[in-house]
Amino acid sequence: MSDRKEKYISGILILLTLEIIFFPVLKISTWDVSLLKMLNMIYGKSNNIFAGSIQTALKQYMSSYIYMLLFLIILTIAVGVSAWVIRSSSVYCIELAGQAVIVITAVMLFRMIKEKMDMIGSTVSYFGIGNVVQFNMMPFILWGLLQIAAVVINIYGLMNMGKEEYKKEAHRKEFVPDYIPAPPYVGEDVKYYPKDDMVFHKEEKEFLGQ
């Protein structure tokens, strides 16, 4: 069973990576757009001509990636909460495996979104505004730092758990030896029984029903 504080800290850090959906990650002309606002723009409506053109471009280029983004959000929540729910010693391995999937998915999604944003920038440039689409890298940097911190803490917790298991095993062997050596004065009535790692006299063996 694992109830170490490292796994709770790791879970909190992983959940904090969800900040990226609230912070502005794109600057479209004078608009700061977060991933959450992007979702609203894709599924909402706008009466503004410029906003309408951005919205049309987002629907055209980004709608195919919405399910991937939702999968990433749900997976992040699941991995973060699992640190608080799972009490098995395998919790750190589960956290690390979940983070690996999250990071790989996020990097793929970022590259695809960047390509599509470049296309959107080319589309809206027809309005004579120039290069209107820019990425705000600070939320991505913060996301990466939180992921790295969670990985380090998970590895630290996994190593400490291994040391604790080793100490427990050494402590057990110290007080419960693998076998009891035969006394030097005992003769042929002593036998060693490997099955039980114990040495019994014939009389004791009969008494114990062995």
pLDDT tens-place string over residues 72-87: 999 999 999 998 888 8
pTM: 0.67
pLDDT tens-place string over residues 129-159: 555 677 888 999 999 999 999 999 999 988 8
Q: Kindly report each contact of residues 56-65 with a partner whose C-beta sits within 8 Å and lies 24 or more positions away, as own/partner.
A: 57/119, 57/120, 57/123, 57/124, 58/120, 61/116, 61/117, 61/119, 61/120, 62/38, 62/113, 62/116, 65/109, 65/112, 65/113, 65/116
Please state the domain extents for the chain.
Answer: 5-174, 177-210
